[in-house]
Amino acid sequence: LVSDEISGLHFQGGYFYSGSGQNSTNQDGELSTVYGETDFNNAEYAGFDYSFTDDLGIGLHAAKYSDVWNQYYADLYHTFSFSDDVSLSSSLNYYNTQDTGRSEAGSINNNTYSAAFALAVGAQTFTLAHQRVNGNTPFDYVNVDGADGNSIWLANSVQISDFNAPGEKSYQARYDLDMSTFGVPGLSFMARYITGSGVNGTNADVDGDYAGSYGRGGDEWERDLEVKYVIQEGAAKDLSFRVRQATWRANNSPDSGFYGSNGANALDEVRIITEYPLDIL
């Protein structure tokens, strides 16, 4: 259910009992959580986004995963323009997650938030962000048929890592450059670096699905580099090509157990992404 009857107000609500992951075409994929791998039968949600002006907006949403958790989300977005070429954008995101019903994943009491501030100066944008997870479990979200989805709005949830381990504090520095100002419309560059530390999952519910997944003292970092080009005219107008390289590292000492029995502490990845919008109607 989606409604835009009131100017500036976007309301939506829904009920899910199955789905399809991004690597599958079936429509009966099972629902579960990403990090706890807890299966659940259905999810329901409702919420709204409201724009006071073009530069100021808020959102409030609530969701329930049957017998796993109730989750509440709030956000605030604002842009302040100093001049035609200089502006400061801020975004605040907050999640509260509490176990519910039969508490199939165990005891959960998690508060996670992020704050990002982006200064745009002509063709350049400089962004700083902070994210923090308060709780004995990671900040978790929905998994459909074994394929993680882009279902969270946190500043430091990036290509490889979500920086969402229990107790984790993370910081990001990002730089964007739009080459249209320099006579190359459609070409842009992005570089970002995120570092996280303070992971402590030793106090998770011993009978829950997160027990033993994280130790104490875990830390990680990720660096992403991207170049993107969007075709400006012709039959292929708006067709975009993006190449992104990511490097991720985490400590894996016996005391940290950053990813538990997984043991992974180093990943290098290159993604080539092509997007072409189709205006059917």
pLDDT tens-digit series, residues 206-242:
999 998 888 888 889 999 999 999 999 888 889 999 9
- Residues 6-24 have pLDDT tens digits of 999 999 999 999 887 776 7
Residue linked to tokens 């508490």: 103
- How long a stretch of residues is the chain? 281
Strand, coil or helix: 74: strand
Q: What is the CA radius of gyration of the chain?
A: 20
Instruction: Say if residue 256's pLDDT is above 80.
Output: no
Can you tell me the distance from the alpha carbon of 67 to that of 101, in angstroms, rounded to the nearest whole number? 4
**Residue 148's pLDDT is what?**
61
Instruction: Say if residue 95's pLDDT is above 50.
Output: yes
**Residue 27's pLDDT is what?**
72
Can you tell me the distance from the alpha carbon of 141 to that of 95, in angstroms, rounded to the nearest whole number? 11
- Residues 30-81 have pLDDT tens digits of 888 888 889 899 999 999 999 999 999 999 999 999 999 999 999 999 999 9
**Residue 216's pLDDT is what?**
84
Name the token pair of 137: 């479990």
Can you tell me the distance from the alpha carbon of 220 to that of 199, in angstroms, rounded to the nearest whole number? 9
**Residue 151's pLDDT is what?**
72
User: CB-side exposure of 193: number of CA atoms within 13 Å?
Assistant: 1
DSSP string, 228-281: EEE--SSTTTT-EEEEEEEEEEE---TTT-TTGGG---EEEEEEEEEE------
**Residue 263's pLDDT is what?**
54
